[in-house]
Amino acid sequence: MTEKKVLIAYGTRYGATEGVAIKIAEIFRDNNVLADVVNLKEKSDFDNFDDYDGLIIGSSIKIGQWTRDVKNFVRNMRLEIQKLTGPFGFYVCSGYASLDEQYAKVKEEYIPDKLTEFDISINYYDAFGGLIDFSESSKMGWLEKKIMKLAGSQATGLPVEEEYTDLRDWDKIEKFALGYLELIKV
Ligand SMILES: Cc1cc2nc3c(=O)[nH]c(=O)nc-3n(C[C@H](O)[C@H](O)[C@H](O)COP(=O)(O)O)c2cc1C
């Protein structure tokens, strides 16, 4: 029996979405499913997804938006995504997704609502928390840090007083990966 192979294509700004893509791929490999993990900033020129048994797209969220690379990828590959026969999964890493009272809302806003604009429907998706990094080595610039602080003062629960917080729930991410494997193995 040949091994199944999934494409995990992601766009990240500060690294959270990339880390999730790598984790999902590790879980797949532990379950004998291969994964190509592709940063859409480095490669986005696919003709089709014929080499793959499934596709997962991951995106960072900033001011309510996917990365430009994710947007372009979805736009360019719209027809191929619509005719996928294997499972199509989508996840985002977002600050608000870590807040219980915002999670359900942003999960819909950041994934199915946006995909509707491209005439794409989805039934396997989730929103995970992200990184809040005010440290010296942060990839966030001063303006981005300022926006984060402002968001933190408006939405209670975002830990903007800490220097560095990783809001990703790895158990939830593992559940997402294992649930996807169920879809691909049937
Ligand atoms: C300038 C800025 C704007 C942000 N805007 C949002 C937002 O609109 N909604 C949200 O849920 N999270 C927002 N975040 C939090 C990011 O989603 C979080 O940092 C996440 O880690 C981004 O994914 P990435 O690390 O893969 O780039 C914002 C963060 C920054 C720095």
Please, which pLDDT band fits residue 2 given cuts at 50, 70 and 90? confident
Is residue 166 within 8 A of residue 131, CB to CB? The reply is yes
**Is 12 touching ligand 1 by the criterion CB < 6 Å?**
yes
Give backbone dihedrals phi and psi of 64, rounded to 5 degrees, phi first: 75, 5
State the distance from the centre of ligand 1 to the C-alpha of 93, rounded, in angstroms: 7
Please, which pLDDT band fits residue 15 given cuts at 50, 70 and 90? very high
Please, which pLDDT band fits residue 1 given cuts at 50, 70 and 90? low
**Is 140 touching ligand 1 by the criterion CB < 6 Å?**
yes
Over residues 15-39, mean pLDDT:
98
Residue 68 has pLDDT above 70, yes or no: yes
Is residue 59 within 8 A of residue 11, CB to CB? The reply is yes
pLDDT at 119: 97
The one-letter code for the residue type at 115 is L
State the distance from the centre of ligand 1 to the C-alpha of 61, rounded, in angstroms: 5
Mean pLDDT over the full length of the chain: 96
Quickly list H helices, 31-141.
68-76, 78-82, 100-110, 112-116
Cα distances (angstroms) measured from residue 129 to each of 19, 66, 118: 12, 14, 25
% the chain with pLDDT above 90: 91
How many Cβ atoms are within 10 Å of 133's Cβ, its own excluded? 21
Q: Phi/psi class of residue 144: alpha, beta or left (left: φ > 0; alpha: ψ in -120 to 50)? A: alpha
pTM, entire model = 0.97
Over residues 65-78, mean pLDDT:
98
Q: How many helices (H) and strands (E) does the chain have?
A: 7, 7
Residue ranges per structural domain of the chain: 4-130+167-185, 131-165
Topology annotation, domain 4-130+167-185? Rossmann fold (3.40.50)
Per-residue pLDDT of 88-128, as tens digits, reads 999 999 999 999 999 999 999 999 999 999 999 999 999 99
pLDDT at 130: 97
**Is 59 touching ligand 1 by the criterion CB < 6 Å?**
no
- Least confident segment among 4-8, 67-71, 105-109, 157-161: 157-161
